[in-house]
Amino acid sequence: MGKWEYATVPLLAHNTKQILDMWGEDGWELVQVVAGPNSESLVAYLKRPKE
């Protein structure tokens, strides 16, 4: 079984796609998006295989 590394990333509502595209280019896969500490923020959880 492979090993994974994880990242949590704050998302800005006005450029969420750009942020996720940037992380995706680096090999990160989106696992989940949840509400952040205030009503206007989101937090993305990402993973990628550990090298």
Residue 30 β-bridge partners = 46
Coil, helix or strand at residue 2:
coil
pLDDT higher than 90, residue 47: yes
* pLDDT band (50, 70, 90) for residue 25: very high
Query: What's the mean pLDDT in 33-51?
Result: 92
Structural contact between residues 47 and 9, judged by C-beta atoms closer than 8 angstroms: no
Q: What is the DSSP letter of 37?
A: S
With 0-12 / 13-18 / 19 or more C-beta atoms within 10 angstroms meaning exposed / middle / buried, residue 2 is exposed
Output the pTM of the full model: 0.86
Return mean pLDDT, the chain.
93
Structural contact between residues 11 and 33, judged by C-beta atoms closer than 8 angstroms: yes
